[in-house]
Amino acid sequence: MYSYSTILQFLVSGIAVGCIYGLAGIGLSVIYSSSRVINFAQGTFVMLGGMLTYMFSQLLGLNLVLAAACSIASVGVCGAMLEGFFVRRLRHNSAPLFNMVLATLAFGIIIENGVLHTLGDRPHDFSFVESAKLFKLFGASLDVHYIVIAVSCIFIIVLLSLLFKFTLVGKAMRASAINGEAASLLGVSTDRMITYAFTLSGILGAIGGVLITSVQYTSYSVGLFFALNGFVAVVLGGLGNVFGAFAGGIILGILQTIATVAFGGGMKEVVSLGIMILLLLVRPQGLFASSGDAH
């Protein structure tokens, strides 16, 4: 049996990973809402966030925060490229949805291999705060980066809410997602909204990658893992529900922690798959069903 403080550490790290799943899930949701595409490269965005930050800081000597910012911006561009070069072409050719999904998968694989061949296969991590500063929470010592993650995520959620509710761009994106045709008749370019969606998802994924790499190792191959869990987060939250995806991610993180404590390390995918099947059985519209966006 684990000690109390170990369990607490597990839990906190589970919630932290859950936040990253949540960010990936929000990205998936935003892309899905705008274009009906499931972006298999979402996890790759997460991986890139961490790996590019490592590259910018270690190999190019940039200050860590600056490196993170460059990395996030680059991944945003990456998302835009995926949309601009591939997804848009497929959409304009009326390609079946599956082809678009497959294209995102292939894109993710290409990027992953690109990283493998340039940065190698060794796992990396980094710290924003000087040496392992710990803080005490309920009697257990926890890495201070968890606070960074928590604060960042709260900040992002608030920022996103403001973006979608009050800015013209955000409202245009929502309108386009609800009824693309009507929105385009009012001057909102669907193409551009989808580009924004992919860019935003890249940014969100990368932020997640940056955050998680401060507490956990990242390597070139974690992309698929985050894509799958991001998707389960979305299923938990409900496919149309952007913030439900975030909550779903946290729930998933906690459940994975419980399973790891009870059954051991390799159970994470089993938990994800099991949850997904369970949810599809019991409540396919997600726990926080919003506009009832069915399959």
Partner 1 sequence: MRNVLSPRPAAIAACSLVAAGLGILASDYWVSILVLVGIYAIVATGLNLFMGYTGQTSFGHNAFAAIGGYTTAIMTTAYGWPPVPVAILGAAIAALIAALIGYSVLYLKVRGHYLGMATLGLGLIVVELAIEMERITNGTAGISGVPPIGIGDFEIASSRGMYWLLLVLVPFAIWCAHRIATSRLGRALKAISGDEQAAEALGINASAHILVAFVVSAVFAAAGGSLLVHQLAFVSPEVFGMFFLTLLFTVLYVGGVGTTFGPLIGALVIVLVPEALRGFADFRELIYGIFLIVVVVFVPGGLSSASSWGPALGWFKAYRRSAHSTAANRPSPRQEH
The answer to whether 270 contacts partner 1 (rule: CB under 8 A) is yes
CA dist 167 and 215 (Å) reads 33
CA dist 3 and 132 (Å) reads 21
The answer to whether 92 contacts partner 1 (rule: CB under 8 A) is yes
Closest to 125 in 3D by CA, of 212, 202, 65, 203: 212
CB of 24 to partner 1, least distance (A): 13
Question: Are 208 and 19 a contacting pair, CB within 8 Å?
Answer: yes
Strand locations in the chain (E): 134-137, 140-143
Work out which of 7, 144, 224, 254 binds partner 1, going by CB under 8 A. 224
CB of 155 to partner 1, least distance (A): 29
Work out which of 90, 206, 233, 251 binds partner 1, going by CB under 8 A. 90
CA–CA distances in Å: residue 283 to residues 238, 287, 292: 9, 7, 11
Work out which of 70, 95, 144, 258 binds partner 1, going by CB under 8 A. 95
The answer to whether 180 contacts partner 1 (rule: CB under 8 A) is yes
Work out which of 54, 107, 220, 243 binds partner 1, going by CB under 8 A. 107
The structure tokens 């949701």 sit at 29
**Interface residues toward partner 1, by CB under 8 A:** 38, 86, 89-99, 101-103, 105-107, 109-110, 113-114, 117, 180, 190-191, 224-225, 228, 231-232, 235, 265-266, 269-270, 272-273, 276-277, 280-281, 284, 295
